[in-house]
Structure 1
Amino acid sequence: MNSWPQEILDLLDDPLFDSVRPRATRPSVEESLLSSLREVSSWVSEHGRLPSPTGELEEKILERQLSALRIDPNREALEAYDELDILSMGQAEVALSPHPHDTDSDEYPR
């Protein structure tokens, strides 16, 4: 049964402790890397190209994240989750069709 003294149990039942929650745990290194990969992959899927170091701020940040992922010692573990093969894709390589809003071509209506 319960080996806690009744005094402690009564204290813990106090409404003062109703909003007390355990501290949130920080994501592991692997979870952080996977989150970065998913964020970059989502951007690539949406825009049809790799992020560029000359783009808007968000794009520059994603390009740096991708560069960091490519040289990370845990890269091999991430490759299983890299559905777009962006970890090994070169900057000039484009394996996706361009997004209509990311080109100046008349081929795509705006």
Structure 2
Amino acid sequence: MYVATTPWRRHPAKPQRPEQPSPALPAITFGPPLEAFAAERLQRKPGQELHLSVAFDAYKEWCGLRQRTVLGRTRFDHGLIKLAQEIGLDVEISSLIIHDIALRRRHAR
């Protein structure tokens, strides 16, 4: 009875300072560099397939030529799979292959 009738229990104390909302969790984004790489170096080619390890090697080279930071392999794989699925390409996740896509030849600079 004491706990239920104690005056400080009836009116909860207001916080001393206004509560700040929790910051949003960072979104998992793969950023424009991956999208720029895909736009520049990948092309749709029916009947072709691209293994993600081949794409990653091309991506590392592409980043090196542009002095960009290379994403880790796992983030690259997830990002490229996500991009491929968004544009309707068939992806074999178990074997890390994207169908109907190929690398474009690198332009001489």
The two structures share one fold, judged by TM-score above 0.5: no
Max Rg structure: 2
The structure that is strand-richer by fraction is 2
TM-score, length of structure 2 as denominator length: 0.37
| Higher RCO by CA contacts (8 Å cutoff, separation 6 or greater) | 2
Q: TM-score, normalised by structure 1?
A: 0.37
